Structure 1
């Protein structure tokens, strides 16, 4: 309708323009009716409204022209003789035109709104694609960083392996080291002491292994005897003379001339220089006559400091260091000692000799990384040694089998199995007729990776028992029950389609957990990651051909393929370093696993109060929440949805186990080391009630 009104009004105004232009006095107006309609519509409307003659003439003109039928009613109104009707017609046409314009404007506005909405939608999609691309780029950058880090780790491990091979080759060129190795292989050993580990921790599945182990032991003894005969024949020496020559090469110090008062003159003295009333930095100074040796020289775990009293040991001659086992808190300072005493003898079991270089090299790597960080603040290096010192220390290592005796000046040492971890030893020290027994870290229960301690006859009735007291205030209960709890929890998570991360200490704990899982859950995939991998391979090679060979890899147990398996390994167990979540691959695994509702993280060992592992346990105890984790110098905030729990598989004797050791040795004096002072005081009272004389943790002299 509005279109008909517009057509009628346009035709009428055009006719008015024609009429007006025929008037002589309108010569000043535009001569073109179209232009006049466009430029002077108001004049034309006024003429139409006020001049009846114009309307009459317009009516005549339009009568001769063809108009749309629906426009004629409007024309009739616009040319009506009555001016009021004309005004009404104009108003009607205006209203119709306004309505049309309003509708057109509305349609235009609607089109514009649709276009804006479309542009907004396209913009949102573009922003979404950009955001996705940015997230994808960030994720690719993160994965690229993980791949780069993994590649650097592989290159570093390869370099370490090549370095260790080079060290081994150099070591066998050293006459002293070669003689010590030959003596360890050829020297007949006394019969093993009775192993009553079964009575301490009965394990039915070990029964069959014991018989096989006995046959293997007999075979090893027979082979040792044949080797001795062959070597003696080759060098054209009597077998006893050959052993004398090797012993002289290993210990060139001539024995003291015997005298009636020798035992008293030797005056055996033992002094803790570290790890006395604290855990870590273990070091004992043993002195007799002119001879001085150390039992252990470890680093303090929290800050990597040397034993607090090490300067006293270095204030005089130092002839040797006996290392009880390869944990850094017992052996970590040895390369620094060798650097200061190049002729120092380093004596340990064959397994410990193989494991220590890996631990020392890792210390160098960690210390260098810390130094790079501290150098940004102007701090000086905290490194006690570097790779050159590690190589020198490896060259001074002597392998001492359990039961073999080695003389160090006026002192004689004998190592015995201490349980705890592979290669761990206790030490019986003789000075004349005086004897001291040092347990090192010790345990009596059978583990998958190592049996319990075996006390030799030479330990019984010693003058002094220096005994670790790490867990002197705890009763661990039945180990079998703790193992079954771990197995049950792991199986529950894996059967639900989740995965389990077990951060573990690289040496001992990681291998033990992997062996437990392989035995009890043979179908559950297990991945070992980080430094624990190299040590696991060493566990296998060090025990190959022994009466207790260990097979860690194989079946469902394999080396982790990181970073690919961070995403693709969806069900199974990851055993990775570090045990406190303060570094290592365990941090990368935790970053992926902690936000997964169906997965779990099981803390398997001691956590320092300020460690991320301890903070995670506190958070879990409070019901969960946000957890901050450092991954490659980047602080990551995670929502913890995975299950977090503690699974304790301690490798230390508890209170009951320590009491059994004290009773078994039955020493005149007992000194507690490697523990916390408050717990030691309480445990000392228990020992006294059982008839033991406990001396203070400090310098001791044979009475």
Structure 2
């Protein structure tokens, strides 16, 4: 604050007054006197010209205070009116300094208030932007679901106009699966039940309505599906022997991109055509070796992308390609294909922006085309494809998963696909048919051939206990899970064993849960995933408002999707937890997180839309494996039950496969190298 401009004059006046004889003998400080007698001194300055003269003399001796010149000119004037005016002016200036400081303080407070309001408005703006983004995401999700429904409707309409596909799917509904046990999931399927408690199968009733014999109806449908081959004249020779030839084209000594080529005579059949996971996803490793000649059909063991993701590319290349799978797999595959097409399209747009090439393997229109051509094949029912006959059997693993028995003459090859023997919430274990026993070749997956898992019951119990601990402490649990199979399995575990714990399903996992319910709706015991304590997540509201419970979402390896958004909020919470539930690729976010935990790191760095973010690691982080693959003991049981003349291992890692071959050899099984077989 500026100093009082009158103060030097008042102090000079005080010194003059204190020097008078009347003040002799008293001890007074001029500064104190000036402060205490301010009004008295000012009154004296106005009324006593002699005092002003004395002060002028006093100030003449103190020229070290140049600031006195302006004020002394007014206050010490010989004109009383000038003195009065000068004193009022100096008093006003003194007060104005105080006023300025007061105004400055008030202005500063006002500025602080405005800044607070600005921050509040910024927060509201950000919230509004997020809400708009959420609404936009919700709209995109709604549009995506609408597109998927349109694809399904178009596929169904397409099937109605394709006689072969229509006949195949009609036969799948009418023809019961033979040899089913009463407690199996397939036996509970109403399509396999006798009607009205009578010994009259659906095909018998349909034949009666059509006015023909049941065998004639089945024969007619089979003829539409696989038209009889024209008889060859004696002069015509067969260019290839009708013996089975087997060659893995993908997923042989790696996990992903599964594909096996089977040939007999002029017939070429693929069992699976999957993508190799990654960015970008790649086709089966050696698929080019099969594309130089026509392929009559592809038989899909189950709807995981690493087993079916390349099918739309094949369907585009081969217009007459038959696509066969179980009814459940047929229903689930289009959703997986649509997601792959979307991801490939996004990657293409990103690369185009940077001026690089990235051609997608297929686009959305190929998904619709492929979905139209899918033929449903129930378990235990044979289909003829040229010189080959195929039959599917339950493989456990996930809903609709199948193993395949392929026959050419008296030769048989069994391909397990991904397989498991234990009962899960969504599917039973495998069931080896008699047609598979003592086959010429068993092509067996070996994902977990080096592992010995604890019992399914124990693993589920451990998971439930861990979730209970976190929930009881008031925290929330994030479980990144594979969208198809694992997520639905986890949700049903939570629903049946922990009905008091709120559970959210998010992302593609929620969409496929709805598909599980619709696919099994006609069963006597349909799958119920949503309802009770399980509901669909709504973002961004639930990200912060859902403070206690379980979140199950994609991606299972923490490579993207909603799991990243949830992890950014849950990992910093000391009372919460993140449980990884399945296999983690070495380069995945999940594997990186586990390494950070092992190294006792304090933060996880993530890339959020081009911005690096540091996330504190305070939550409990553990691996809770719920594998849907048979382990070493389970695979040995399968090999023993099939008891094939030779066994080939696929879908695994080379060193583990080699060790497992030695174990199979000790058990009396003859193993062949992973490669061409005849």
* Deviation, structure 1 residue 319: 0.9
1:464–1:12 distance in 2 versus 1, CA, 3 Å? same
* Map of 1:267 onto structure 2: 243
The answer to whether the aligner puts 1:230 opposite 2:218 as a matched pair is no
CA contact (8 A) 1:265 1:289 kept: yes
Instruction: Describe the shift of the 1:636–1:245 C-alpha distance in structure 2 as closer, same or farther (beyond 3 A).
Output: same
Query: In structure 2, do the counterparts of structure 1 residues 9 and 335 end up closer, same or farther at CA, with 3 Å as the change threshold?
Result: closer
CA distance in structure 1 between the aligned counterparts of 2:611 and 2:526, rounded to whole angstroms? 42
Aligned pairs for 1:137-286 within 5 A: 137-192=125-180, 210=183, 220-222=193-195, 225-254=200-229, 265-286=241-262
Query: Which whole-Å CA distance do the structure 1 matches of 2:186 and 2:246 have between them?
Result: 37
Check whether the contact 1:213–1:547 (CA below 8 A) recurs between aligned residues: no
Q: 1:11 aligns with which of 18, 32, 47?
A: 47
User: What do residues 77-121 of structure 1 show as CA deviations (whole Å, max 9, x unaligned)?
Assistant: xxxxxxxxxxxxxxxxxxxx99x9999999876665555444434
Contact preservation (8 Å) 1:213, 1:548: no
Deviations 1:566-625 (A, max 9, x none): 232222212112212222222222233233332222211222222222222223333352
Is 1:318 equivalent to 2:292 in the alignment?
no
- The alpha-carbon deviation at position 538 of structure 1 amounts to 1.7
1:338-417 matches, within 5 Å, as 338-417=315-394
Residue number in structure 2 paired with 1:680? 657
Tell whether 2:431 aligns with 1:431: no
Q: Does 1:289 align with 2:277?
A: no
**CA distance, structure 1, for counterparts of residue 137 and residue 212 of structure 2:** 55
Answer yes or no: is 1:575 the counterpart of 2:563. Answer: no
State the Cα deviation string for residues 312-360 of structure 1 (Å, max 9, x = none).
2111221111100000100011111111111111111110000001111
Q: Quick one: structure 1 residues 39 and 636, their matched pair in 2 at CA, closer, same or farther if it must change by over 3 Å?
A: closer
* Contact in 2 for aligned 1:255/1:409 (Cα 8 Å): no
Preserved contact between residue 186 and residue 192 of structure 2 (Cα < 8 Å): no
Post-superposition Cα deviations, 1:372-403, rounded to whole Å, max 9, x if no partner, equal: 11111112233111122112211221111000
Assess if the C-alpha contact under 8 Å between 1:186 and 1:225 holds in 2. Answer: no
Distance of 1:584 and 1:272 partners within structure 2: 32
- With over 3 angstroms needed to count, the CA separation of the structure-2 counterparts of 1:686 and 1:450, relative to structure 1, is same
Give the Cα separation in 1 of the matches to 2:287 and 2:335: 23
Q: Distance in 1 between matches of 2:528 and 2:76?
A: 107
Instruction: Between 556-565 and 652-661, report the one with greater CA deviation.
Output: 556-565
Q: 1:338 to 1:42 in 2, by over 3 A?
A: closer
Select 2:460's aligned residue among 480, 483, 507.
Answer: 483
> Could you tell me whether the CA contact under 8 Å between 1:669 and 1:693 is conserved in 2?
yes
Q: Is the 8 A contact 2:194 2:202 kept in 1?
A: no
Q: Secondary structure at the match of 1:545?
A: coil
In structure 1, the partner of 2:504 is 527
Partners of 2:242 and 2:506 lie apart in 1 by 50
Change (3 A) 1:643 1:304: same
Residue aligning to 1:649: 626
Q: CA deviation at 1:548?
A: 4.7
> 1:402 is paired with a residue of what secondary structure?
coil
* Aligned equivalent of 1:84: none
Matched residue, 1:329: 306
Q: Contact 1:253–1:408 (CA<8 Å) still a contact in 2? A: no
> By how many angstroms is 1:278 displaced?
0.6
Which one is further off, 116-125 or 368-377? 116-125
* Residue pairs, 1:472-551, within 5 angstroms: 472-546=449-523, 548-551=525-528
Alpha-carbon distance in 2 for matches of 1:219, 1:189:
6
Q: What TM-score results when the alignment is normalised by the length of structure 2?
A: 0.84
Q: Which string of whole-angstrom CA distances, capped at 9 and with x for unpartnered residues, describes residues 42-78 of structure 1?
A: 7969xxxxxxxxxxxxxxxx9xxxxxxxxxxxxxxxx
Describe the SS at the equivalent of 2:444.
Answer: strand
- Provide the C-alpha distance between the structure 2 equivalents of 1:640 and 1:423, rounded to a whole number of angstroms: 39
* Whole-angstrom CA distance in 2 between matches of 1:359 and 1:455: 27
The answer for unaligned runs of 5 or more in structure 1 is 18-36, 46-61, 63-96, 196-209
Q: Is the 8 A contact 2:176 2:201 kept in 1?
A: no
On the 8 A contact 2:176/2:191 being kept in 1, the answer is: no
The worse-fitting range, judged by mean Cα deviation, of 321-330 and 583-592 is 583-592
Q: Which runs of 5+ in 2 are unaligned?
A: 1-36, 54-70, 81-85
Aligned to 2:595: 618
> Could you tell me how far 1:244 is from its partner in structure 2?
0.6
Question: By percentage of residues, which structure has more helix?
Answer: 1
Would the aligned equivalents of 1:494 and 1:572 in 2 still touch at CA under 8 Å?
yes
Q: Which has the larger radius of gyration?
A: 1
What RMSD over aligned residues (CA atoms) do the two structures have, in Å? 3.2
| In 2: Cα distance, 1:590 partner to 1:499 partner | 11
Work out the CA distance in 1 between the residues paired with 2:271 and 2:45. Answer: 118
Separation in structure 1 between the aligned mates of residue 277 and residue 410 of structure 2, nearest angstrom: 37
Name the SS for the 2:40 alignment partner: helix
Give the structure-1-normalised TM-score. 0.81
Greater Cα shift, 462-471 or 585-594: 585-594
Cα distance in 2 for residues equivalent to 1:173 and 1:662: 43
